């Protein structure tokens, strides 16, 4: 069916019907191996913010106090990213699995997120932050979904820092949902599976248009990915910090960047 199409047109056909056209601010070579020393500052940093509960328990405080202190650390992290010249920051704020926590904690966490979106949005906008939510947003109530849309609409033109907040996010769910959308597109005849490559598949993920993370940081001394960005972090440098998230600040961000700068990124290749 696509035999007479130029290659570029074929690639475009491998997009979901409602996909935005390729964006000029997204590098086209996200999956190409670039051998050698990585640029000193990672373009995209992803963070698993862990340790709120332990921070609260250590102080004999309710877990909500830990999450509130965690929200303060989010502000410090965003500031540090801006100051360091990082372009993209993805924060794992609520996983698909977090719905399984006791109802009271889920209510506390979603309430805190709602409060954050309502009260910090103007400041984020002033700072030039463009906010985008990734994850299963339909699992949130209509009020919360309206907050997501309002935040995204207001900040869509900002370029100083692109901030992705992962909410009800799970890497496996992301890949599964992408596969379902792809299957639908194949069925509808808008994608030729013979022509699909990794970049074409990635267009169906919730991170479409976002470059893969260069650096993935996890706090609290745990060494797990916990279902975060499983596809996207394939070549991310991993840094595990021995600090509980509520204590995270500019010095920890700088430490992670410093460790990243000393890594030798080979993407599986070997210099000739």
Shortest distance, position 242 Cβ to ligand FPP, whole Å = 13
Site for ligand FPP in 159-218 (CB under 6 A): 165
Site for ligand FPP in 20-49 (CB under 6 A): 49
Q: Name the catalytic one among 3, 29, 50, 264.
A: 50
For the chain, give the secondary structure using H, E and C: CCCCCCHHHHHHHCCCCCCCCCCCCCCCCCCCCCCEECCCCCCEEEEECCCHHHHHHHCCCCHHHHHHHHHHHHHHHHHHHHHHCCCEEEEEEEEHHHHHCCHHHHHHHHHHHHHHHHHHHHHHHHCCEEEEEECCHHHCCHHHHHHHHHHHHHHCCCCCEEEEEEEEECHHHHHHHHHHHHHHHHHHCCCCHHHCCHHHHHCCCCCCCCCCCCEEEECCCCCCCCCCCCCCCCCCEEEECCCCHHHCCHHHHHHHHHHHHCCEECCCCCCC
Q: Which is nearer to ligand FPP, 41 or 112 (CB)?
A: 112
| Interface with ligand FPP, residue 124, by CB under 6 A | no
Active-site annotation holds for 50: yes
Chain residue at closest Cβ approach to ligand FPP: 53
Shortest distance, position 245 Cβ to ligand FPP, whole Å = 6
Region of 81-89, 109-117, 171-179, 196-204 interacting with ligand FPP (CB under 6 A): 109-117
Active-site annotation holds for 98: yes
Shortest distance, position 209 Cβ to ligand FPP, whole Å = 21
| Interface with ligand FPP, residue 131, by CB under 6 A | no
List active site positions.
50, 98
Contact residues: ligand FPP, CB under 6 A = 49-54, 67, 70-71, 74, 91, 93, 98, 112-113, 116, 165, 245
């Amino acid at each position: 069916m696509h035999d007479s199409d130029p290659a570029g047109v074929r690639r475009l056909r491998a997009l979901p019907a409602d996909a935005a056209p390729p964006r000029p601010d997204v590098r086209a070579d996200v999956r190409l191996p670039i051998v050698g020393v990585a640029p000193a500052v990672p373009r995209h940093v992803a963070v698993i913010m862990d340790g709120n509960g332990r921070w609260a328990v250590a102080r004999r405080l309710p877990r909500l106090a830990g999450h509130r202190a965690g929200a303060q650390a989010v502000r410090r992290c965003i500031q540090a990213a801006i100051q360091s010249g990082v372009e993209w920051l993805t924060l794992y704020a609520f996983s698909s699995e977090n719905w399984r926590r006791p109802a009271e904690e889920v209510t506390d966490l979603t309430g805190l997120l709602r409060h954050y979106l309502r009260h910090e949005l103007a400041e984020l906008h002033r700072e030039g932050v463009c906010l985008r939510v990734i994850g299963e947003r339909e699992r949130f109530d209509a009020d919360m979904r309206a907050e997501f849309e309002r935040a995204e609409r207001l900040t869509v033109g900002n370029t100083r820092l692109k901030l992705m907040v992962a909410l009800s996010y799970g890497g496996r769910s992301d890949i599964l949902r992408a596969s379902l959308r792809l299957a639908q597109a194949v069925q509808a005849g808008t994608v030729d599976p013979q022509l699909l490559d990794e970049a074409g598949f990635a267009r169906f993920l919730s991170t479409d248009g976002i470059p893969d993370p260069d650096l993935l940081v996890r706090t609290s001394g745990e060494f797990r990915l916990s279902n975060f960005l499983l596809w996207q972090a394939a070549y991310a440098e991993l840094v595990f910090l021995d600090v509980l998230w509520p204590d995270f600040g500019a010095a920890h961000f700088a430490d992670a960047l410093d460790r990243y700068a000393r890594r030798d990124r080979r993407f599986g290749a070997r210099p000739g």
